[in-house]
Structure 1
Amino acid sequence: MPRPTARVMGDQSLDFLRSGYLFASRVRQRAGVSPESQTPVRLRLMGRSTVLLRGIDGVRAFYDADKVKRDGAMPSFIRLPLFGPGSVHKLDGRAHAARKNALADMAYDDDRVARFARLVADELEEMLDRWARSGGGTVYDDTSTAFGRAAFRWAGLPLTPPEADRRARQMSRLLDTFGKVATNPVAEVERVRLDRWATGLIRAVRSGDLRAEPGSVLAAMADLRDEDGALVDDRTAAVELQNLTRPTVAVARFAAFAAVALAEHPQWADRIREAASAAGRLTDIPEAVAFAQEVRRIYPFVPMLPALATRDFEVQGCPVRKDQLVLLDLLGTDTDPNHWHDATTFDPGRFLGVDDAEALEAFIPHGGAGVRTGHRCPGEKIAVTALSATVAALCRPEVRISRDHDDMTFPWTHMLTRPATGVRVTWQERETAPT
């Protein structure tokens, strides 16, 4: 006999808009499912029959290419501003494999990640210097600029520092506005502007008017080809060029959350400060990496991901029918008490000694499964590198993170969320001991 499955009556679209990151937990509560249960929940969303999955079994089903597909799953009002038309995020099968490997060759290669590490460390040191000169700054705004500069340099884009700052701010504005109905047109405008700019770069390289450094991301995207070896159109290449740079700017949201977490856990700030001081660098500090991973696990970023069932199957006794919408609860899986000890407790120690966090099936802040074999984000290494270096930078003894209420809080019902202030910091020079 099949096990009974939880169900929520009525379309839940309005509640999704109202609840934000709390949507999945509220749906499960209405279905009578306990917080500890991984029972899938059936509901209706945007007029479609939907199944909400959580936990490792849900991850395995969601990333099984024989069971689900991405094309047609994500609403265009989300997909187009965030990822752009024709991007890898909606591809399946051979087309997805070819595109994904081309992007992974750029973002997932260890030598390229190491080069990014040097660049982002340089930009963060410059950010600290600016804070020293001005007396402080804002974590979200200033790291988004630093990350953007590092990403553009890493990609080989011919930008002056002022233009790099402007493009980073545009990307940041797109992320800040796309999820809000009142400001979504701003996101659409920024998407158009960024597409026009990136398409111009691709066309200039392809026509010979602009020389791209051999082996650079810009050169690779200008030569981007489909699964049959044909050159993709200018705009698609431009979209993927942005998808190799804009997500790095988005890591600034995690940087703001990391500042909150450091203020709330000063013992870890002391520990990271000592380790970074002893190493004499911002990157590859094990304590900072563990802290960054825990920030990614427990703070809200992407709430869930959608797919469409391509055939009938079951998850934990719950039937999933062909053409149903399938949602994977990322945040719920990252904090699932079945997979994490003291799941809602912030404890970076759980990641110390973990050499390959991507191998943890229940750790999916950037998606699950394999980078080259599935839909996991190929920029995860770069994201962790940028965030962990920022954690080390924020632990410098001169940096004081504001503990005001507006700096330490954020709304769980807004997507994408962050502290409204961006988390303010001040710079306080250490007193020199008398000789």
Structure 2
Amino acid sequence: MPTTGNQPLREQSLDFLRSGYLFTSRVRQRAGLTADSQTPVRLRLMGRRAVLLRGVEGVRHFYDADKVKREGAMPAFVRLPLFGPGAVHGLDGRAHAVRKNALADLAYDDERVAHFASLVAVELEQMLEEWARRGSGTVYHDSTTAFGRAAFRWAGLPMRPEEANRRARQMSRLLDTFGRISGNPVAQVERLRLDRWATYLVRKVRAGEFRPDPDSVVAAMAELRDEDGQLVDARTAAVELQNLTRPTVAVARFAAFAAVALAENPGWRNRIREASAEAGRLTEIPEAVAFAQEVRRVYPFVPMLPALATTDFEVSGCPVREGQRVLLDLQGTDTDPNHWRDAGTFDPERFLGVDDAEALEAFIPHGGAGVRTGHRCPGEKIAVTALSAAVAALCRPEVRISDDPDDLTFPWTTMLTRPATGVRVRCSRP
């Protein structure tokens, strides 16, 4: 049985590297579980016994701070290039709560999100103009720089467009390579470069050589304090400044997937085009938001998240021992037939009329539980804003998304995955 017994567990780290997003489903298949089973599975990963959880019950246990912690759970070769040393993602308890709320005060505030919406709309309109001028473009690469410029402007960073494009591309290269052993040195180099740049900015603010708007994100990060009220070191502040901007660049991967979904669902493309034209804007289009949410539910980004058990407990009768690694199957939960009607069908209709998608416990592309009370990403509102605006932009009548199979396919065994071409488009003058 997957939940009981003392038989030796086979090390599956190589299987994970080979299988990518298919790993969790293959683990469950080998355990003899059906597609709709939420039974936890015991395995061994990276030299440590682990339990793979799925579904709402798994989410509740995984985000219970009395049962698990994040510190030491994620391998350093993934954690350090992606999040940076000392980042909020590796904190627990009061230290995490204080840091997380400081970030949420900036990224999760509705007025600040609305300000970002106005900025990203301008950048996407500029992207469309550039596509029309050239006659073509690439969704992933061009939305990377559009999202990056919007994020840097939102943060109050003093950057010329050329530098903003360069920093966004650096963040994109980091995301393309951090989880791959063969490409990890590239991610490490980009992490060092980005850390030096952001640390320099923080030090300039602290020295009074750069005086940003006192209400800006960069000013707040320069004054970031720990749970004891002490100013954090400049590099840690710089890491968190990046953690408030780099995730927006990462949304470009979802933009590429959205282009694939629009090509495969022309009815929705027409529907969004009409709604956006009627509203006269790219943002706050309910149909585009619903489409963006369904893209986030169905298409792969992060396959699973790790934690460490801090006490003994049980999940659906499966014992979890203190010190074991606890894994949450994000992809499996987001497409779990127990929680989603026609789970394998791409259907944005399921999100129309849903005012608070974060309240859906089985919807965890940015993590689960509460933003201020748990480890859910505080940038989720900004991510949805950027993605839904990009969806509306891709539905403009002058934009034609490629139907070449190379543009519409991607490998499920590569992390982080995306269409290799970035999804090419042709664009005429409106």
Provide the residue aligned with 1:227 in structure 2. Answer: 227
Superposed, 1:289-368 pairs within 5 Å as 289-368=289-368
Assess if the C-alpha contact under 8 Å between 2:141 and 2:252 holds in 1: yes
Q: Single out whichever of 62-71 and 3-12 deviates more from structure 2.
A: 3-12
In 1, the alpha carbon distance for the partners of 2:287 and 2:317 equals 41
Provide the residue aligned with 1:433 in structure 2. Answer: none
Report the residue type matching 2:344 in the other structure: T
Provide the residue aligned with 2:106 in structure 1. Answer: 106
Provide the residue aligned with 2:192 in structure 1. Answer: 192
Provide the residue aligned with 2:417 in structure 1. Answer: 417
Q: Note the aligned Cα RMSD (angstroms).
A: 1.2
For these two proteins, the number of residue pairs brought into alignment is: 429
Report the residue type matching 2:92 in the other structure: D
Assess if the C-alpha contact under 8 Å between 1:257 and 1:299 holds in 2: yes
Assess if the C-alpha contact under 8 Å between 2:121 and 2:282 holds in 1: yes
Provide the residue aligned with 2:379 in structure 1. Answer: 379
Report the residue type matching 1:229 in the other structure: G
Displacement of 1:183 in angstroms is 1.6
Alignment TM-score, normalising by the size of structure 1: 0.97
Give the unaligned 5+ runs of structure 2: none
Assess if the C-alpha contact under 8 Å between 1:300 and 1:417 holds in 2: yes
In 1, the alpha carbon distance for the partners of 2:7 and 2:422 equals 39
Assess if the C-alpha contact under 8 Å between 1:42 and 1:52 holds in 2: yes
Assess if the C-alpha contact under 8 Å between 1:145 and 1:249 holds in 2: yes
Report the residue type matching 2:376 in the other structure: R
In 2, the alpha carbon distance for the partners of 1:7 and 1:193 equals 47
In 2, the alpha carbon distance for the partners of 1:429 and 1:101 equals 45
Displacement of 1:184 in angstroms is 1.1
Displacement of 1:318 in angstroms is 0.4
Secondary structure of the equivalent of 1:89? helix
Secondary structure of the equivalent of 1:327? strand
Q: Single out whichever of 351-360 and 27-36 deviates more from structure 2.
A: 27-36
In 2, the alpha carbon distance for the partners of 1:371 and 1:47 equals 31
Provide the residue aligned with 1:161 in structure 2. Answer: 161
Displacement of 1:3 in angstroms is 7.3
In 1, the alpha carbon distance for the partners of 2:5 and 2:305 equals 21
Structure 1, residues 77-134: CA drift from partner, whole Å, max 9, x if none?
0000000000000000000000000000000000000000000000000000000100
Displacement of 1:9 in angstroms is 3.1
Provide the residue aligned with 2:78 in structure 1. Answer: 78
In 2, the alpha carbon distance for the partners of 1:4 and 1:181 equals 33
In 1, the alpha carbon distance for the partners of 2:324 and 2:416 equals 26
Secondary structure of the equivalent of 2:10? strand
In 2, the alpha carbon distance for the partners of 1:225 and 1:164 equals 27
Displacement of 1:428 in angstroms is 3.0
Assess if the C-alpha contact under 8 Å between 1:6 and 1:39 holds in 2: no
Displacement of 1:350 in angstroms is 0.2
Superposed, 1:127-146 pairs within 5 Å as 127-146=127-146
In 1, the alpha carbon distance for the partners of 2:6 and 2:273 equals 48
Assess if the C-alpha contact under 8 Å between 1:7 and 1:43 holds in 2: no
Assess if the C-alpha contact under 8 Å between 1:225 and 1:231 holds in 2: yes
Structure 1, residues 17-49: CA drift from partner, whole Å, max 9, x if none?
000000000000011111110000000001100
Assess if the C-alpha contact under 8 Å between 1:5 and 1:318 holds in 2: no
In 2, the alpha carbon distance for the partners of 1:137 and 1:47 equals 45
Assess if the C-alpha contact under 8 Å between 2:3 and 2:42 holds in 1: no
Give the unaligned 5+ runs of structure 1: 431-435
Report the residue type matching 2:186 in the other structure: V
In 1, the alpha carbon distance for the partners of 2:333 and 2:8 equals 20
Assess if the C-alpha contact under 8 Å between 2:3 and 2:40 holds in 1: no
Superposed, 1:395-434 pairs within 5 Å as 395-429=395-429
Superposed, 1:114-129 pairs within 5 Å as 114-129=114-129
Assess if the C-alpha contact under 8 Å between 2:148 and 2:246 holds in 1: yes
Structure 1, residues 369-413: CA drift from partner, whole Å, max 9, x if none?
000000000000000000000000000000000010110000000
Secondary structure of the equivalent of 2:9? strand
1:278 maps to 2:278: yes
Assess if the C-alpha contact under 8 Å between 2:305 and 2:327 holds in 1: yes
In 2, the alpha carbon distance for the partners of 1:213 and 1:5 equals 60
1:63 maps to 2:67: no
Alignment TM-score, normalising by the size of structure 2: 0.98
Assess if the C-alpha contact under 8 Å between 2:171 and 2:246 holds in 1: yes
Displacement of 1:180 in angstroms is 2.0
Assess if the C-alpha contact under 8 Å between 1:6 and 1:40 holds in 2: no
Report the residue type matching 1:270 in the other structure: N
Assess if the C-alpha contact under 8 Å between 2:62 and 2:326 holds in 1: yes
Secondary structure of the equivalent of 2:368? coil
